[in-house]
């Protein structure tokens, strides 16, 4: 089995767990690869490892059986953008705080790898949102797992986002911004702005305004087979657009359209995983002393 580890950073206190992860993988006969960012940080920590190879993004990626994301949910999102259309199954080891996407706790590393090699898991396809634009953005990585966002820049006045569904005018949002969320992203930024929770396998996107200037504007659920396009106006000539944790400034007049991406993110889910358990445990959803 070929396994790549990807991560951006982790605290020194997690080094023993990382070394345990590598030892268990080696014990099961896995061929271990590091991405360049993970290798760079791994060396700084002074951690020790059995034999491994450093994997560049363009080399041998298609031969990987799994990619293990080592970090928090932000690292997991970065792993999805790194894997891209190769659709390699991703397992998240959580060294962060919440761990909504990276669900494996550091204390469960050995058990998780054992279960992985025993094949007691499923692969869950997660919809990605793709961006089409007349400008080159995000170094060509124009897709995200959680959301696409249009937002005002810094402390400038609110923006007006004219929004169209399959070419038909929907609404002009006078707001600080607008989020288009996938089902996976419904538990993220969209949720904090009043958007609904959606189960991961739902075939929908959610349009959630950020601090709208109209009391009667509410989040809206639309099918994920539609194309959503935007024209942006505002006093500022620059606005921010983001895909997950990647953000860049754009000028007024840019053409922006989002749609369901042609490929998916494949997440490894162990057989005892339950989305509703995660909602209750991680977000305290439904917390009530009567329950």
Helix axes 15-27, 36-45, angle to 10 degrees: 120
* Residue 73 falls in the annotated catalytic set: yes
Q: Which member of 51, 65, 73, 154 is catalytic?
A: 73
**Angle value at C-alpha 130, between 126 and 135, nearest 5 degrees:** 160
**Residue-wise DSSP of 199-259:** -TT--EEEEEEES-S-TT---EEEETTS-EEEEEE-SSSEEEEEETTEEEEEETT--EEEE
Q: Which residues are catalytic?
A: 73
């Amino acid at each position: 089995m070929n396994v790549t580890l990807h991560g951006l950073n982790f605290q020194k206190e997690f080094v023993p767990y990382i070394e345990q992860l590598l030892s268990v993988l080696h014990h099961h006969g896995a061929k271990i690869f590091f991405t360049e960012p993970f290798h760079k940080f791994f060396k700084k920590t002074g951690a020790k490892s059995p034999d491994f190879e450093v994997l560049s993004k363009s080399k041998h990626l298609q031969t990987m059986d799994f990619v293990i994301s080592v970090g928090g949910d932000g690292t997991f999102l970065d792993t999805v953008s790194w894997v891209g259309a190769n659709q390699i199954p991703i397992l998240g080891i959580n060294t962060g705080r919440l761990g909504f996407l990276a669900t494996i706790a550091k204390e469960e590393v050995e058990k998780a790898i054992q279960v992985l090699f025993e094949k007691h898991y499923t692969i869950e396809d997660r919809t990605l949102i793709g961006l089409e634009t007349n400008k080159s953005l995000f170094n060509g990585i124009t897709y995200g797992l959680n959301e696409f966002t249009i937002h005002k820049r810094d402390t400038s006045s609110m923006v007006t986002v004219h929004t169209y569904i399959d070419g038909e005018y929907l609404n002009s949002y006078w707001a600080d911004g607008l989020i288009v969320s996938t089902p996976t992203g419904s538990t993220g930024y969209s949720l904090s702005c009043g958007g609904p929770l959606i189960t991961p396998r739902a075939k929908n996107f959610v349009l959630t305004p950020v601090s709208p200037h109209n009391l009667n504007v509410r989040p809206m659920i639309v099918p994920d087979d539609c194309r959503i396009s935007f024209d942006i106006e505002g006093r500022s000539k620059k606005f921010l657009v983001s895909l997950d944790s990647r953000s860049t400034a754009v000028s007024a007049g840019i053409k922006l359209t989002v749609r369901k991406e042609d490929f998916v993110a494949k997440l490894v889910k162990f057989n005892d995983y339950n989305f509703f358990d995660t909602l209750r445990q991680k977000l305290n959803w439904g917390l009530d002393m009567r329950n």
